[in-house]
Amino acid sequence: MSEENKSIHEFDLNLICDYFSNLERQGPGSPEITIKALSFVDNLTPQSRIADIGCGTGGQTMVLARHAPGQITGIDLFPTFIELFKSNATKHNLQDRVKGIVGSMDKLHFQNEELDLIWSEGAIYNIGFERGLKEWRPFLKTGGYIAVTEASWFTEDRPAEIEAFWKDAYPGIDTIPNKVAQMQKAGYMPVVSFILPENCWTEHFYAPQHAAQDIFLKKNAGNKTAEDFIANQRHEEQLYQKYKAYYGYAFYIGKKI
Ligand code: SAM
């Protein structure tokens, strides 16, 4: 990558980070659904060690911490998100149990069999579902749990427009039975999978973006990259409204065997 490209790339990332920093969540989900997923995980104690990979600013991490015992480490690639994550933990008075570190999900620094639970909402796609399940497995104790959300097809056949969009955005998207089979193949007993309700997208992910988009466009007036980025976000939301019968996120929970 040339230096020129690199600096444009970094500039884009800063813009995207800035946009998402103003939002409580950086992906679809909700407190109710985090709590529901947690209800399938047993045996956690104050000594348990939990990792939240691709935690963003920690929207779901703080919910986890309020409803589960144990020490939680949030990991995200972006230092800005981790700064906000830390102030979020302090705001909720969880700073003694919830730590945030900058790091990449493809180079995690946990010990073998250190973790009782690996959590990851809307983030495993960054290295791919199968690769993430496989590479993170050694860090889990036998009998420990993994709980991730992942983009999934709800039907066997889809309209061409949405098929093409996802082929470009994340070719790893697959049907729920195929994802469950991948989880089993990676060495986990599938415990449960369920589809995230529509309000995880509409109310908790897209609605808060509307005001953020207006503020962001004002702040970056005349900046073509920023305008294109917002146009993209709006297009994604329109596609969701049009094709939500065909895709969404599902939670996949498995137990290391
Ligand atoms: N879990 C949060 C949520 O549900 O609100 C954030 C989800 S957001 C869609 C994906 C997150 O993955 C972002 O915070 C992004 O910075 C993080 N991410 C991307 N690549 C990563 C990597 N290689 N290692 C760790 N985090 C990464």
- State the chain's maximal CA–CA distance in angstroms: 54
Q: Which of 121, 118, 102 has its CA nearest to residue 24?
A: 121
Q: How far is CA 104 from the centre of its chain?
A: 13
User: How far, in Å, CA of 14 to CA of 205, rounded?
Assistant: 20
Q: What is the CA(76)–ligand 1 centre distance, in A?
A: 6
**Position 142 in a domain:** yes
Is residue 243 within 8 A of residue 166, CB to CB? The reply is: no
**Position 84 in a domain:** yes
- Give the pTM: 0.95
Q: What is the CA(54)–ligand 1 centre distance, in A?
A: 4
pLDDT of residue 13: 86
Q: What is the CA(105)–ligand 1 centre distance, in A?
A: 9
The binding-site residues of ligand 1, defined as CB within 6 angstroms of any ligand atom, are 25-27, 29, 54-56, 59-60, 75-78, 81, 104-106, 121-123, 126
Ranges of residues in the chain whose predicted pLDDT is under 70: 1-11
Q: What is the CA(156)–ligand 1 centre distance, in A?
A: 28
**Position 225 in a domain:** no
Residue 152, CA atoms < 13 Å, CB-side half-sphere: 23
**Position 206 in a domain:** no
**Position 115 in a domain:** yes
Q: What is the CA(205)–ligand 1 centre distance, in A?
A: 14
Instruction: Name the residue of 13, 30, 101, 105 whose CB sits within 8 Å of the most ligand 1 atoms, as the mutation to test its pocket.
Output: 105
Q: What is the CA(93)–ligand 1 centre distance, in A?
A: 23
Q: What are phi and psi of 58, to 5 degrees?
A: 95, 15
CATH number, residue 141: 3.40.50.150
**Position 235 in a domain:** no
Please give the structure tokens belonging to residue 110: 């946990």
pLDDT of residue 214: 94
Complex ipTM: 0.99
Number of domains in the chain: 1
**Position 74 in a domain:** yes
**Position 118 in a domain:** yes
Range(s) of the domain holding residue 53: 23-159+170-197+247-256
Per residue in 174-229, pLDDT tens?
A: 999 999 999 999 999 999 999 999 999 999 999 999 999 999 999 999 999 999 99
pLDDT of residue 3: 40
Instruction: Name the residue of 78, 110, 119, 131 whose CB sits within 8 Å of the most ligand 1 atoms, as the mutation to test its pocket.
Output: 78
Atom of ligand 1 nearest to the CA of 25: 5
